Structure 1
């Protein structure tokens, strides 16, 4: 499943604020980047948040690039939540060794900050 995630182009909505960053949420002390496998999944997420038809801007990015290049730039433990509005199809990729770069895994977070 991890290999497929890394090869998949994901849609990551941009935050609604002025910072232009990626839309994220917090759960259990971890920042989760919201990502979707298609526009329909993104629309279900928008509707669940009360946004109606989504007119959100989003970035299309490979899962591998998201975890290998983006996560190391984020402050704090960060994982990826895929299709979070889909009951049977949601997936979490937590910030652990083997998913994110080892220096950014929850047991190596201090090294991640030092590496930047």
Structure 2
């Protein structure tokens, strides 16, 4: 099942969180760039978490651009596997970061928060990553 279908099943109460995360990790996502020269990604901070925007297809991405009033603008973006996004990009973000998929799709948005099982444990807010120090 593709990610959008898995999101719909999950939101309807019929999904499985493991299947959902698996589909997310296998999906090729479109991630808008805020700055092509630095590779900075478009994101927002809410509740102390930086949410990186990702889209399952160009139509979802276009709805996001229209919602921002920026449909006429050219949007550079990365095509990246969800697994690479959480395993390689999230650890590079300063502070907790999650992925917001299809944020402009009413009824189709899904948040993948910075918790164990989604992001690396070293980046998860629900894992104690404190310095153990010497005993």
The alignment's TM-score, normalised by the length of structure 2, stands at: 0.76
| Pick aligned residue for 1:49 from 68, 72, 75 | 68
Give the match for residue 21 of structure 1.
Answer: 40
| Equivalent residue, structure 1, for 2:29 | 10
> Given the superposition, is the C-alpha separation of residues 109 and 84 from structure 1 closer, same or farther in structure 2, using an over 3 Å criterion?
farther
Which residue does the alignment assign to 1:34? 53
Structure 2 unaligned segments of length 5 or more: list them.
1-19, 131-135
Aligned length: 111
Structure 1 residues not aligned, in runs of 5+: 112-116
How many Å apart are 1:52 and its aligned residue? 2.0
Shift of 1:54: 4.5
Give the whole-Å Cα distance in 1 for the aligned partners of 2:81 and 2:38. Answer: 22
Larger Rg: 2
Q: Cα RMSD over matched residues?
A: 1.7
Q: Distance in 2 between matches of 1:6 and 1:32?
A: 16
